[in-house]
């Protein structure tokens, strides 16, 4: 087949890129620019987070995309054409917008709220009703909330309805201004995770505003850090931002614990693991003792015939002539190669041992993670950032 296939997942509108070209905004009567010479290139299907202190121009930058704020100079292109070539009314229909503070219409039902844009563009009742049903399912709300009013929903549920409303006409671009700002931390994390799952399905181009750097790192494919006057301090991926902040402002904003934050972005499989001598039940312990001399990990790991960890061998285990079937200590915690490194670290810290076997999808041991491996990694990372050599010791 050589023809173009239609987009999967019922999404009829492909995502569009958003490009800021040297965009400046000065509000009438203001003495300074709210946004100054901002250039950004957001590829289709990515989440670009705008982050920075209050008043730095995040909302202004976002609102120029759908022309709820007019550009003073420069240009913004959505899907390759200038927003100035479309009317503000048209743009507001084409671009989903989740405003700061949710902004559901209080005297309209949830279904009517979600159907705002479909009603504007004249969808018939059946199509609209089907879309509302589909969106409620997408945001994991029961169908019976459709006839309730916003005040009859929790804050988190209202927030999800706000997202559904912005998605209703399947726009190629979404603007989300502090969409989870008003939610308590626990529900906020749930909504963030839910939204990332949703985005993996719908692949919209999203401009996402927050003043919370942790949220930015979690949600963004790319992050634009803005400073006073809407000036761009750095535009980079989360990892680049954490590893290599462009200046003192970004470094302060990203925070001192960025090495730890970086661990949240990495998987166990991203770092060089150590090797432990492997032992099999019934094997001559003399062989195992010989392998232990000079090994990276000073303990032998008993594995089954599929290399699945059974436990660590103690000195007493190794004093016998042959390796026992059931060793003194369990292998726990056993980590997965796909585990997030920060979670792996907390598992290690909570357990008694310094070493944890790492297994692949089949459960077979592929290496060992230890606190030392992680601190070596952090030290070398620090070395990159601060330009002094690491002095990590492999054994304590």
Ligand X SMILES: Nc1ncnc2c1ncn2[C@@H]1O[C@H](COP(=O)(O)OP(=O)(O)OP(=O)(O)O)[C@@H](O)[C@H]1O
* Footprint of ligand X (CB under 6 A): 27, 30, 34, 54-60, 211
In whole angstroms, the minimum distance from the beta carbon of 278 to Mg ion comes to 56
What is the C-alpha radius of gyration for the chain, rounded to an integer number of angstroms? 27
Count of residues of this chain found to bind Mg ion when the rule CB under 5 A is applied: 1
Query: Strand pairing of 355-359 and 365-370?
Result: antiparallel
| Maximum CA extent, the chain | 89
Buried b (16+ CB within 10 A) or exposed e, 186-215: eebeebbebbeebbeebbbbbbbbbbebeb
In whole angstroms, the minimum distance from the beta carbon of 75 to ligand X comes to 19
In whole angstroms, the minimum distance from the beta carbon of 188 to ligand X comes to 16
Query: Strand pairing of 73-78 and 81-82?
Result: antiparallel
CB-nearer residue toward ligand X: 36 or 94: 36
Q: Which does 211 bind (CB under 5 to 8 A by kind): ligand X, Mg ion, none?
A: ligand X
d(CA 214, CA 51): 10
Nearest residue to 299 (alpha-carbon basis) of 395, 226, 373? 395
Tokens in use for 62? 């976002």
CB-nearer residue toward ligand X: 10 or 55: 55
In whole angstroms, the minimum distance from the beta carbon of 292 to ligand X comes to 58
Q: Which does 55 bind (CB under 5 to 8 A by kind): Mg ion, ligand X, none?
A: ligand X
CB-nearer residue toward ligand X: 231 or 307: 231
CB-nearer residue toward ligand X: 54 or 352: 54
In whole angstroms, the minimum distance from the beta carbon of 181 to ligand X comes to 9
Nearest residue to 270 (alpha-carbon basis) of 214, 339, 219? 339
CB-nearer residue toward Mg ion: 59 or 234: 59
102 DSSP β-pair partners: 99
Q: Which does 34 bind (CB under 5 to 8 A by kind): ligand X, Mg ion, none?
A: ligand X
> Which sign, positive or negative, has the C-alpha torsion 150, 11, 83, 235?
positive
CB-nearer residue toward ligand X: 35 or 198: 35
Given a contact cutoff of 8 angstroms between Cβ atoms, the answer to whether 8 and 2 are in contact is: no
41 DSSP β-pair partners: 19
By beta-carbon distance, which residue lies closest to Mg ion? 59
Residue numbers 46-65 binding Mg ion by CB under 5 A? 59
Given a contact cutoff of 8 angstroms between Cβ atoms, the answer to whether 66 and 60 are in contact is: no
Q: Which does 151 bind (CB under 5 to 8 A by kind): ligand X, Mg ion, none?
A: none
Structure-token match 């919370």, residue found: 212
Three-state DSSP class for residue 25: strand
In whole angstroms, the minimum distance from the beta carbon of 228 to Mg ion comes to 14
Residue 370 binds to Mg ion (criterion: CB under 5 A): no
Q: Which does 210 bind (CB under 5 to 8 A by kind): Mg ion, ligand X, none?
A: none
In whole angstroms, the minimum distance from the beta carbon of 187 to Mg ion comes to 21
Given a contact cutoff of 8 angstroms between Cβ atoms, the answer to whether 242 and 258 are in contact is: yes
In whole angstroms, the minimum distance from the beta carbon of 166 to ligand X comes to 18
Q: Which does 30 bind (CB under 5 to 8 A by kind): Mg ion, ligand X, none?
A: ligand X
CB-nearer residue toward Mg ion: 136 or 209: 209
Question: How crowded is the C-beta side of 328, counted as CA atoms within 13 Å?
Answer: 10
In whole angstroms, the minimum distance from the beta carbon of 248 to ligand X comes to 20
78 DSSP β-pair partners: 18, 81
Q: Which does 60 bind (CB under 5 to 8 A by kind): Mg ion, ligand X, none?
A: ligand X
Q: Which does 362 bind (CB under 5 to 8 A by kind): ligand X, Mg ion, none?
A: none
CB-nearer residue toward ligand X: 111 or 183: 183
Torsion of CA 248, 250, 256, 262, to 10 degrees: -140
Tokens in use for 374? 């992680």
Q: Which does 66 bind (CB under 5 to 8 A by kind): Mg ion, ligand X, none?
A: none
In whole angstroms, the minimum distance from the beta carbon of 62 to Mg ion comes to 8
329 DSSP β-pair partners: 312
For residue 252, the surrounding DSSP H or E stretch is helix 248-254
Q: Which does 10 bind (CB under 5 to 8 A by kind): ligand X, Mg ion, none?
A: none
For binding to Mg ion (CB under 5 A), which residues are involved? 59
């Amino acid at each position: 087949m050589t023809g173009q296939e239609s987009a999967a997942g019922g999404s009829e509108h492909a995502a569009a890129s958003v490009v800021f070209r040297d965009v400046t905004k000065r509000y009438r009567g203001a003495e300074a620019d709210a946004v100054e010479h901002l250039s950004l290139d957001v590829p289709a299907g990515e989440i670009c987070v705008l982050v920075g202190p209050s008043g730095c121009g995040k909302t202004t930058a976002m609102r120029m995309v759908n022309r709820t704020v007019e550009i003073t100079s420069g240009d913004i292109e959505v899907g390759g054409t200038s927003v100035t070539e479309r009317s503000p009314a048209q743009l507001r229909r084409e671009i989903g917008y989740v405003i700061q503070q949710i902004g559901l219409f209080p005297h309209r039902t949830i279904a009517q709220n979600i159907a705002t844009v479909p009603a504007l563009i004249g969808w018939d009742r059946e199509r609209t009703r089907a879309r509302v049903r589909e969106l409620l399912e997408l945001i994991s709300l029961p169908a019976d909330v459709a006839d309730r009013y916003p005040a009859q929903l929790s804050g988190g549920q209202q927030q999800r309805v706000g997202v559904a409303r912005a998605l209703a006409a399947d726009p190629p671009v979404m603007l989300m201004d502090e969409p989870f700002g008003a939610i308590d931390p626990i529900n906020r994390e749930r909504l963030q995770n839910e939204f990332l799952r949703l985005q993996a399905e719908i692949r919209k181009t999203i401009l996402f505003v927050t003043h919370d750097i942790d949220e930015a790192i979690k949600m963004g494919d790319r992050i634009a850090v803005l400073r006073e006057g809407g000036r761009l301090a750095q535009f980079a991926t989360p990892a680049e931002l954490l590893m290599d902040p462009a200046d003192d402002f970004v470094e302060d904003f990203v925070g001192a614990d960025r090495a730890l934050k970086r661990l949240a972005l990495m998987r166990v499989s991203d770092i060089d693991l150590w090797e432990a001598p492997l032992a099999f039940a019934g094997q001559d312990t003399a062989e195992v003792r010989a392998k232990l001399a000079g090994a990276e990990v000073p303990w032998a790991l008993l594995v089954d015939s599929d290399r699945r960890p059974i436990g660590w061998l103690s000195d007493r285990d190794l004093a016998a002539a042959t390796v026992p079937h059931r060793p003194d200590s369990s292998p726990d915690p056993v980590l997965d190669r796909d585990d997030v490194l920060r979670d792996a670290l907390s598992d290690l810290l909570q357990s008694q041992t310094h070493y944890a076997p790492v297994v692949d999808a089949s459960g077979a041991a592929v290496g060992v993670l230890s606190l030392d491996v992680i601190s070596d990694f952090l030290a070398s990372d620090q070395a990159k950032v601060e330009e002094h050599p690491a002095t990590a010791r492999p054994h304590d």
